[in-house]
């Protein structure tokens, strides 16, 4: 009969509103939500505080779907966390060749790049990842113009 799952449809619309907040941070709704709920932090990492509004609870419900579709585009490599963020061009799990310490969750993509030559540092890549992962990483172009990392 063509009936939709209204729950799925609603979550998709909420994810779209989340996308609007991410891509238009200067908009009035984005600024209000930032001021009230996540201050200096990130919309995606914001926590559910005590007694949130219905709007905020609804937006948080759509964030899971939003995160599934987001992929970081490598720019100046200052924001992307290697082990937490989705930044590879196709679905792939990164496996480390070495033991990671507790600070490795904060390790960023810029540590994998020779910033002078503006190319992937193959020695570091081979020390950290499997050959399959290295091959995928090397397909990612590195910005020569210094554009910022962005979600896409």
Distant-in-sequence, close-in-space partners of 93: CB < 8 Å, separation ≥ 6: none
| Selected residue with higher pLDDT from 91 and 61 | 61
CA contacts within 13 A on the Cβ side of 100: 14
pLDDT per position as a tens digit, 85-104: 888 877 666 766 665 554 56
User: Domain range spanning residue 32?
Assistant: 6-69
* Last residue in a domain, options 69, 84, 105: 69
Same domain (yes/no): 85, 45: no
Examine residue 96 and state whether it is found in any structural domain, yes or no. Answer: yes
Number of domains in the chain: 2
CA–CA distance, 89 with 49 (Å, rounded to integer): 34
pTM of this prediction? 0.66
Residue 17: pLDDT over 90: yes
* Last residue in a domain, options 19, 50, 69: 69
Same domain (yes/no): 43, 94: no
pLDDT per position as a tens digit, 96-145: 666 555 456 678 888 888 878 888 898 988 888 888 888 888 888 887 77
Same domain (yes/no): 117, 134: yes
Same domain (yes/no): 61, 128: no
Same domain (yes/no): 52, 83: no
Query: What was the pLDDT predicted at 16?
Result: 93
Same domain (yes/no): 34, 54: yes
Greatest mean pLDDT among 7-16, 41-50, 125-134: 7-16
What single DSSP character describes residue 142? Answer: P
Examine residue 57 and state whether it is found in any structural domain, yes or no. Answer: yes
Same domain (yes/no): 134, 82: yes
- Predicted confidence band at 70 (pLDDT cuts at 50, 70, 90)? confident
Examine residue 1 and state whether it is found in any structural domain, yes or no. Answer: no
Angle at 105 between CA 26 and CA 110, to 5 degrees: 65
Mean pLDDT taken over the chain: 82
Query: What was the pLDDT predicted at 15?
Result: 92
Comparing 8-12, 47-51, 53-57, the range with the smallest average pLDDT is 47-51
Same domain (yes/no): 81, 146: yes
């Amino acid at each position: 009969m063509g009936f939709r799952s209204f729950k799925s449809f609603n979550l998709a619309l909420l994810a779209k509103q989340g996308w609007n907040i991410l891509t238009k941070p200067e908009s009035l709704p984005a600024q209000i939500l930032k001021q009230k709920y996540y201050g200096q932090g990130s919309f995606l990492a914001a926590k559910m505080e005590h007694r949130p509004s219905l709007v905020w609870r609804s937006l948080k419900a759509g964030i899971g779907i939003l995160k599934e579709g987001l992929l970081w585009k490598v720019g100046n490599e200052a924001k992307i966390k290697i082990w937490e963020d989705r930044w590879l061009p196709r679905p792939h799990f990164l496996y480390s060749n070495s033991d990671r310490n507790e600070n490795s969750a904060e390790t960023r993509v810029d540590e994998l790049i020779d910033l002078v030559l503006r190319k992937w540092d193959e020695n570091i890549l081979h020390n950290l990842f499997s050959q399959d992962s290295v091959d995928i990483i090397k397909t990612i172009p590195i910005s020569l113009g210094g554009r910022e990392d962005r979600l896409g």
